[in-house]
Structure 1
Amino acid sequence: MTINSLTTLNHEVFYNDPTTYALPNDGVARVGPLPENREDKQWAVARYELEHFVCEGSYHDGLKRILTSYIQNLDQGSQPAAWVSGFFGSGKSHLVRVLEFLWSDLRFADGATARGLCNLPPGIQEALKELTTEARRTGGIWSAAGTLSSGDSDDPRLAVLQVVLRSADLPDILDIARVHLWLAHEGILDDMREKLRAIGKEKDMELPFVSEHLAQVLLELKPGFANSTTQATEFLSNQFITNRQMTNAELIKLMKDVFILKGSARGQIPLVLLVLDEVQQYLTIGEGSKQLLAFQDIIEECCKSFGGKLLIVATGQEALEANTLLQRLQGRFSVPVQLESKDVDVVLHQTVLRKKESMKRPLQLVFDQVNGEISRHLGGTKLAHQMEDDDALLLDYPLLPTRKRLWDRILHAVDTGGMSTQLRTQLRLAYEGSRSTALEPIGSVIPADFIFDQLSTYLIRNGLLADEINEMIRKEDDGTPDGNLRSRICALIYLIQYVDESFGVNANAQTLSDLLVTDLPAGSEILRKEVPELLLELNDRGVISDVGNRVYQIQTKEGKAWDSDYRTKLVQYRADDSKIMFKRDELLSRAVDTKLRGLSLVQGKSKTPRQAELTVFGSQKPEIGTKVPVWIRHGWEVPESQVRTEAQEEGTESPLLMVFLPRMHHNEIRNEIAGMLAATEILQSRPTPTTSEGHQARTNIEAKCRNHATKVAEYITAILANTKLYPGGGVGVDCPDLVKAVHDAAQNSMLRMFPRFNDADAVGWDRVIPRVKADAKSPLETIGFARATEEHPVCKEILRRLHSGPKTGNEIRNILDAPPFGWPRDAIDGALIALCASEHLVATLQRKPVPAKEIDRKNLGKMEFR
């Protein structure tokens, strides 16, 4: 089967042709009450969300967990609250908004209902039916939803109450709301509103303490309530205006009044869902812990005050246990729902990116034909094509998985308050991207720079994209094909700077070409020839700046000033040999130290630990002590021939290891160090920028600095890979692996340092002392020595050393620790105590004899032996 990609267009592969519908309200999921007018566009958005809700994965598990927990706890005194968490973009607001619609089975103008529009699995349907049954048995069902931060209160009590009031179509100003609730209690709220509307004064419902019209209607509806409108107004003011902070008890009372008002059975509280969106953002901005403590008390009171009928569902970016501040809420929100990034993909794949079954095979044939082009994109980076991408191609098309990962990194980086990869952002990008390529031949994909136009307004508004840079990028598009490509290149260079350098994505010609290609069947060869030429042109005109290794960043007027200062400093440092030499030696020394710092050495069957003593650079030969001496020098201070000669003169008995770092890449290292020092001085001497142009300028110099440092590190790595090691005797060894070479050579050095080590090298010395304390007759049998104790070489040496006079334990240890012995401490201590047990030695502490069985190793160093 073949496919003619020139006659089949992209829009034909979609289950829902993106050219035939619009994404309502950009797919924005705003938690809150819907307008009373059911013809309002917000109702269309709600309908879209319900029709396209994908009840799978964490969305399904979350709904099930919340509904099941609520129903199980209805007869209990307290109702656990739920916490819905997930990264920016996991669809928290979408989930809780759909939950609210399903809760009361939202009814649309044409009679359609939320539960009828939503494709729900049987388990969720059964839970909702049970909810309806319980609602009929009690006082009905109602929901309130909103964002805590949408109010103007720092008091969580008022912020929570305002969500309830707005959902009940009541004023969110507390004192005015109290008037409305009183009117409702008196049974005249609706009549009051109708009479004021009839005379064109409905807005006076919000002015109960000053409105003559409201007072007059009140007197009509409640004859005898007051003698005059003035008296009526005074009554309302005196009764309902408060100038103090609301208490928890008052909050509960007001919420109860609202719930009863919205219930279907007089005087009874209905089943109530209260959705509080963006709670974490509200609690972590402002007074922090003070707000949190108040909010914690509120939730506890609410959960236990309504006979299990109130369910609170809150959202936040993090799971409660993952945030130190929010951990205090774990006991209140005991129903956790964690959303994941894969859930967003499921939604996208089954909505705006869903493909027709009949087009999957033809589309796969195109992928097979262009597999080479796709798999080369972003090669060598952490965002490169992966094996799993082959399965994702069909699902993500017309967005390539590599570009999708790039977008994720960019969106997270530019996020300043939660907009980043929110489900609505992902939906909008996927939808707009699909529309942009809808009339292109099959095999045409969304270019990575597409996201620039989608984000530019947000970036400018949040001070991330300077007007100067935005205008410069757009001015490059002069209506010609080259101009369009230049503008796209600049946009992509700007975006790539937001990708963390650890991902290895650099704005060079290859990467830019990978990300700009759109027509996969046509290939990218022409584009790959054009991009390098346009990059050179843009660099020559100062539109972009080469920050090193042909990696580019956007340049601004301020950036040119920074770059001029950098070049001035660069000339100065190139002429300063002493600073170049000092920095080179510092970097070489640090690299060697990093390599050899953790070098682990052990000797013999006893695995006696040894250490290497590094002498890094310098002309003074290190002295031989108890550590393996390693003398490191480089070709800038001494020729290799001299190192070889000195190693030969040391002879084959010397334990000294000489490491030689060759003089390589001299000019390159000099230039890169000069550049690194110049860039560092500019960054340290200039104040932190306060404008986006200044930030861009600083970013460019930081990139130069990183690039110089990276190149120096590469050259140093090459030097270390070509290192030579000369042990005593002068036979050089190549060291492609410096650590292994030094480790292996140190084994011979240890034998040269400690030629008598084998006399004490045995397993079991640590068990000699316990055998002495157990009164064993032959304590050295544990090391395999069956003859008399005094005949062991270690014991013989100790006796020989004490022949000239008594010595302390520490004095004996110091002698036998050092060359030519290097004996294990267990061997020295064990032999001393064994000789005391065999009565060849006497141990004293403060001139008092100590029997062998009572010798404590903690005091052995201070004891005197004779």
Structure 2
Amino acid sequence: ADLIFEQKQAQLLQNALLLNDTNNLIVGKKSKTGDSLLEGRILSVIFLIEQLPKDGSGSRIKSNETTIAELLLDNIIESSDAFRSKIKGLIKKLVDENVLMVVGDEFKLQTKVGAEWEKEYTTQAVKLNNSGDDLIQGLRNEKIIYFFRDKTKAVKILQGNSKQIRDFEIWDKAERPVTTHKLNVWIRDGWNENESTVLNEIREEGADAPLAYTYVKKFRDQDLRSAIIQFLAAEKTLDAKGQPSSPEEEQARKSMETRKGLAKIEIEDLIGKICLESVVFLSGGTKVEAGTIKDNIEEALHSIADRQFPDFKGKADYKDWDKALGKALQGDPDALKKIGWDKEPKDHPVAIEILRFIGNGTKQGKEIRNHFIRSPYGWSQDAIDTIILLLRNTEHISTLEPDLNQAKIGNAAFKKEIHTLTAADKIKLRKIYQDAGISCKPGEEFLHSNTYLNQLKTLAESIGGDAPKPEPVNIQFLKDIENLDGNERLLRILDEQEDLKAKHKDWKQKAALIEKREPNWSLLVELANYANSGESMEKLKKEIDAIRDNRLLLQEPDPVYNKLTDIT
């Protein structure tokens, strides 16, 4: 096919389709023998392919290795493998010499614009090699971490019979990871740290520490460095040159994008080979050898799950917590039978730990959850919520939240109960409230204790105060009851129910009487101020003052009404 080039050479030059520089390059190569002659033929074919028109669909013959070799074949009968291999090697040589540039899967003759891009690329590569260690290290670390994250993206760590999911992280920071919630595999490498130093640190952590390590050894360093420089130099060249404004620039840009893509493939291939040789350790120094690097990391994560959550398997590792939770939400006292627990809820290991954590104070639901979800427990939220609900249903803990469900547990405050109420006690409490005009649903006994006590205080305030009302009622005993919490308050109301009911009845009657007599008292005082003086009136005023001074508004018979009759 390159014979066509020779036949059309003069015409191509005359029509300015073939530049003198390109012609001289091809002729110079062909004037020699051996590889140089074959290189000239390669350049001729590539030039001719570039001149071919596209068909109606926009497709054309591609100047790739296969097409170039086929167009240069002299003998189609004998095996062409050796010839094709020779062509492939010479094309690579021409690319390395910047005579050709790679554009996708094709090869193009280098242009003046392409040479300018090549010069920019070389400048960037030299700069990176001399002072780009931070960028090189950053990209190397990024690719190493990506390799391990990609290798483990399908790994699932399930702990215990209940198959509790354990989230994990491929840790890439310099500081030690926090081992309270997620499992961690700490990636260390030979570019940043000496292997013996890292191994000593791993041993010093101890065999109980919940941490796994992967050490990436430093090898193929120069190959990897070279590929990273090629990638970064191509990237910086693309940024520096910006968007193309001519076909030549478009071609040069595509060539640089191809170079960047090939460098990326080379980096990822090298990273893969390097990382596959990594060694996985457990804290304490045990080497994990389960198979592939993925197998080793997965095995290490299973091992550290038991280290990080030692209080899981013996206390909360039960299947079907979700079913038990559903029953607890319905108020079923036998909800734990769904997980195979036939004893009292308060005796379950999870309940014992939750009651111990609440202690003598008050804890919010989110505090309880956060405490037991983390190490050393690692309990599921369903397990924690189920026990909270059951302890509340059985009155071993109390909360002001009347309609407790999973959504409200987080913000609800819980207190451990020392005293418990029977069903009969609750019925009595609701009857006390009912007699006071307060509607109370089952389970709202504590909530409406506030309503009941507030009602008593309001009545007390209404029957005492400024003269002629009686002296203010001492309600300290109500405040004492109010200061109690949970079942202790309810039991006190039951203990003092007769006195409380009597006071409620008495105060309510007096409040009604005061409400009736106060308007008459106000009228009596006003009339006395306008009445004429005289002996009989002075006597009446003294009697009015006596009602005030002696706080006789509630005296029987009604002293105010009689005096109002006298003054009118």
Query: Is 1:844–2:400 an aligned residue pair?
Result: yes
Amino acid at match of 1:766: D
1:574 corresponding residue in structure 2: 129
Q: Is the 8 A contact 1:611 1:628 kept in 2?
A: yes
Q: Which residue of 2 aligns with 1:856?
A: 405
1:469-496 Cα deviation digits (max 9, x unpaired): 899589959799956555225556999x
Shift of 1:735: 8.2
> Is residue 488 of structure 2 the alignment partner of residue 488 of structure 1?
no
Q: CA deviation at 1:829?
A: 0.8
Q: 1:825 is aligned with what amino acid?
A: Q
Q: 1:807 aligns to what SS in structure 2?
A: strand
Q: Which whole-Å CA distance do the structure 2 matches of 1:551 and 1:667 have between them?
A: 28
- Between the aligned partners of 1:743 and 1:541, the Cα distance in structure 2 is 47
How far apart, in 1, do the equivalents of 2:283 and 2:127 lie? 43
Matched, 1:790 2:339: no
CA contact (8 A) 1:468 1:556 kept: no
Confirm or deny that 1:819 pairs with 2:409: no
Contact 2:202 2:282 (C-alpha < 8 Å) held by counterparts: yes
Q: Structure 2 vs 1, CA of residues 723 and 552 (structure 1 numbering), >3 Å: closer, same or farther?
A: farther
Summarize the Cα distance change of 1:716–1:609 in structure 2 as closer, same or farther, 3 Å threshold.
same
Q: Which amino acid is 1:827 matched to?
A: A
Partner of 1:806: 362
**Alpha-carbon deviations, 1:325-360, whole Å to 9, x = none?**
xxxxxxxxxxxxxxxxxxxxxxxxxxxxxxxxxxxx
- Aligned letter for 1:602? L
- Report the equivalent of 2:234: 679
CA distance in 1, matches of 2:192, 2:94: 44
Q: 1:676–1:705: 8 Å Cα contact kept in structure 2?
A: yes
TM (norm. structure 1) is 0.40
Q: Go from structure 1 to structure 2 and tell me whether the alpha carbon gap of 1:491 and 1:531 turns closer, same or farther (over 3 Å shift).
A: farther
- Equivalent-residue separation in structure 1 for 2:244 and 2:235 (angstroms): 16
In the TM superposition, 1:460-499 aligns within 5 A as 467-468=17-18, 472=22, 476=26, 482=38, 486-489=43-46, 491=48
1:270-669 matches, within 5 Å, as 467-468=17-18, 472=22, 476=26, 482=38, 486-489=43-46, 491=48, 507-508=64-65, 512-513=68-69, 521-525=77-81, 527-528=83-84, 530-532=86-88, 534-535=90-91, 538=94, 543-545=99-101, 552-576=107-131, 577-596=133-152, 599-618=155-174, 620-669=175-224
CA contact (8 A) 1:723 1:734 kept: no
SS of corresponding position for 1:602: strand
Cα shift readout 1:76-98 (whole Å, capped 9, x = no counterpart): xxxxxxxxxxxxxxxxxxxxxxx
| Structure 1 residue 573, shift from structure 2 partner | 1.4
Answer yes or no: is the 8 Å Cα contact 2:102–2:258 preserved in 1: no
Partner residue of 1:834?
Answer: 390
Shift in CA distance, 748/524, structure 1 to aligned 2, threshold 3 Å: same
Q: Pick closer, same or farther for the CA change 1:594–1:470 going to 2, 3 Å.
A: farther
CA offsets per residue over residues 800-827 of structure 1, 9 Å max, x none? Answer: 2233333222222122112211111111
CA distance in structure 2 between the partners assigned to 1:470 and 1:829 by the alignment: 84
Question: Alpha carbons of 1:494 and 1:781: their partners in 2 closer, same or farther (altered >3 Å)?
Answer: farther
Q: Secondary structure at the match of 1:575?
A: helix
- The 8 Å contact of residues 41 and 72 in structure 2, kept in 1 or not, is answered as no
Letter in 1 for 2:164: T
Structure 1 residues 823 and 670, CA gap change in structure 2 (3 angstroms): same
Deviation for aligned residue 1:781: 0.7
Q: Which residue of 2 aligns with 1:729?
A: 284
Amino acid at match of 2:349: P
Residue 782 of structure 1, CA deviation: 0.7
Deviation at 1:514, TM superposition (A): 6.4
Question: Separation in 2 of the partners of 1:728 and 1:649?
Answer: 8
Instruction: Please list the CA deviations of residues 668-720 of structure 1 after superposition, one character each: whole Å capped at 9, or x if unmatched.
Output: 12222222222222211124333322222222222222222221121111122
- Separation (CA, whole Å) in 2 of partners of 1:493 and 1:736: 51
User: Quick check: 1:721–1:736 contact (8 Å CA) kept in 2?
Assistant: no
Contact 1:768-1:780 at 8 Å conserved across structures: yes
Q: How does 1:42-441 map to 2 (within 5 A)?
A: none
Structure 2 length-normalised TM: 0.59
CA distance in 1: counterparts of 2:119 and 2:146, whole angstroms:
31
Instruction: Indicate the structure (1 or 2) with the bigger Cα radius of gyration.
Output: 2
Please give the root-mean-square deviation of Cα atoms over the aligned residues, in Å.
3.8
Give a deviation string over 1:427-486, Cα, whole Å, max 9, x none.
xxxxxxxxxxxxxxxxxxxx9x99x9xxxxxxxxxxxxx945899589959799956555
Specify every segment of 5 or more residues in structure 1 that has no aligned partner in the other structure, as ranges.
1-446, 453-465, 496-504
**2: CA distance, partners of 1:816 / 1:537:** 65
Question: Within the alignment, does 1:761 sit opposite 2:317 as a pair?
Answer: yes
1:703 aligns with 2:258: yes
* Amino acid of the structure 2 residue aligned with 1:741: N
Gap change, CA 1:541 and 1:815, over 3 Å in 2 = closer
The answer on whether the counterparts of 2:351 and 2:391 sit within 8 Å (CA) in structure 1 is: yes
2:273 corresponding residue in structure 1: 718
Between the two proteins, the alignment pairs up a number of residues equal to: 386
1:500-541 Cα offsets, whole Å, 9 max, x none, are xxxxx9945x77536865865432145336525753775588
Aligned with 1:726: secondary structure? strand
| CA distance, structure 1, for counterparts of residue 219 and residue 93 of structure 2 | 34
Distance 2:145 2:51 in 1: 37
Whether the 8 Å contact between 2:148 and 2:170 is mirrored in structure 1 is no
Return the offset for 1:597. Answer: 5.7
Between the aligned partners of 2:222 and 2:191, the Cα distance in structure 1 is 12
The 1:716/1:773 distance shift into structure 2, 3 A limit, reads closer
In structure 2, what is the Cα distance between the partners aligned to 1:752 and 1:469?
73
Whole-angstrom CA distance in 1 between matches of 2:274 and 2:355: 51
Structure 2 unaligned blocks of 5 or more: 6-15, 53-61, 417-568
- Measure the CA separation in 2 of the matches of 1:784 and 1:682: 67
Q: CA 1:475 to 1:626, structure 2 compared with 1: closer, same or farther past 3 Å?
A: closer
Give aligned-pair identity as a percent.
29
Distance 2:300 2:242 in 1: 51
Higher helix share: 2
